[in-house]
Amino acid sequence: MGLHSPSTVPKMGPRRQPSHYQGSGTVTSSSTRRLAPHELRDHHLGSTRPAVQAPRPGAWPPPRHGCESRASHHQSSDTELPSTPPPVRLTAQGATPARALRPGHVAHDSAPAPPRRGPCRERRRGGMARATSVGSVGRMHMHIDHQEQARVAALHDLKILDTPREERYDRVVRIAQEVFQVAAAAVNLIDAERQFTKAEAGLPGLVHTPRTDSLCSHTVARDAPLIVPDATAEDLFRGNPFVTADPPVRFYAGQPLHAPGGEAVGSLCLVDHQPRQLSEREQRLLAELAGWVERELAAQGELDRAEQIQQMLMPKTDPALPGWEIAGRCTAAQSIGGDFYDWFRNGDRLQLTLADVMGKGIPAALLSASARAVLRGTFQYNEPAQAIARATGALDPLLEEAGAFVTVFTARLSSTTGVLEYVDAGHGLALVLCPDGTHRRLETSGPPLGAVPGAQWRIHTTALEAGETLLVVSDGFLDYFTGIDEAIESAAAASASAATAAELVERCAGYARSAGLDDDSTVLALRRTA
């Protein structure tokens, strides 16, 4: 049993040839039909359309003819072709036989041919047209042409290669394995020279595979569903390590996955150790699951853009206060998160803030954006006591409706005296690190914003001496230590050896990245250098 696409069509009968052209736009013959616009055009130009040899009854596919590029010839169908092919070895779903121009015939260039469908279809990318025939698809040349470069670029734009496993993809393959009762299911992405397995169920340890060994590479090349009832009977897969393994892959079904721009970047595949078929209902279900994966891929692009915007909201420029250094870094457990830091200068004063919204992901990110806007606006134009009261009044209704709260540390620095006026709303993770390795923790002012209706917060004051560093972290930073005391000791040691505030922040953030992220982690450091 050969490789095939899942749908079938009736055999093509002999083409009905018109007896003569009529000015009314119809053709008289044993069976009449309306002429296409390009046929009318050629009639008025005095040309005749090329004859097309009909396939022999029962013969499929018919002899392959030239498929001319639009750059050199224009052609169109005189005969309606079937919308889907019968089972054809090494032929993608929807492929239909290519048709030839009569030898020596050149179509007129006075008007463009209408878009073609089927085996001779133009692929437009960047304003260029490229004709692809069934033969070239069947042979599957692996050379990198413009279309392949665009496909690989679309895959890289998703920024999903070599990323850790994610539940939203793992869930799909678990469902596919269970519903289809197969040995394994996987989401495979096809790079220029390799396959990356983003999710799998039943293929433990499979991450990277050479593209030459990839079964899903054939699905991507066809950009159509591919069903292989028995891979051991196919010459195409002869010697493939998955097919010759023990136990071997016998059954394979792949449904292409597309990037938001329509490029085929991977496949949702099923494999089993026994030959089998997929019913039409199962084929539709596999396509639906693949659509689920495609929606997740599209959402990933939106999350990447949201991550860029969230990072843009955080300050990148030094406030340029003589004798002071400041640096910050926010690392989200997911693409975006609920932590943020902020600073802005107002004359010789500097306002700095670190906040942590309860939760992770998109909901926390939306709340953190609102909290940042409110805190920045209130502290920019009010004294600390008035600012925190007004910020609470603005945020409480939102946080109550969302069932969330925000821990906040915000401080106002006088750059000339080194005095800090600060509010710690349930945060409790701010400390002053001294050059000799000692430290002192700053006390809290009250509960988190949104946690206790009608709460009030005390304004505290401290001062930074030359060489001292204010370090504020979110609770995600504590996850990398056995306790808060170990975290403080590590931070104090890093501060003593770090030459700048930026180096201290980078060390703390680098440690968090190397340890793996289960929660958002944010670090903010302010150092007095003179």
Prediction pTM value: 0.56
284 and 174 both lie in a single domain:
yes
- Of 256, 285, 306, the last residue of a domain is 306
| CATH code: domain of residue 186 | 3.30.450.40
Q: Is residue 430 part of a domain?
A: yes
- Of 306, 336, 361, the last residue of a domain is 306
The pLDDT, as a whole number, for residue 513 is 62
297 and 169 both lie in a single domain:
yes
417 and 322 both lie in a single domain:
yes
Q: Is residue 140 part of a domain?
A: no
Which of these, 472, 458, 353, 338, lies nearest to 408 by C-alpha position?
353
- Of 252, 283, 306, the last residue of a domain is 306
Tell me how many domains the chain contains. 2
List Cα–Cα distances, 247 to 110, 238, 242, 274, 431, in angstroms: 60, 15, 9, 10, 59
Cis preceding linkage at 435, omega within 30: no
The pLDDT, as a whole number, for residue 7 is 43
Element (H, E) at 508: helix 501-515
155 and 217 both lie in a single domain:
yes
Q: What does the chain come to in residues? A: 530
The pLDDT, as a whole number, for residue 92 is 37
Distance CA 195, CA 209 (A): 5
Q: Amino acid identity of 227?
A: I
The pLDDT, as a whole number, for residue 527 is 96
The pLDDT, as a whole number, for residue 336 is 77
298 and 439 both lie in a single domain:
no
Residue range(s) defining the domain that contains residue 273: 149-306
The pLDDT, as a whole number, for residue 112 is 39
Q: Is residue 46 part of a domain?
A: no
Q: Which residues of the chain have pLDDT under 70?
A: 1-144, 334-335, 511-519
| CATH code: domain of residue 422 | 3.60.40.10
Judged on CB neighbours under 10 Å (0-12, 13-18, 19+), 170 is middle
**Residue entry with tokens 């039409």:** 280
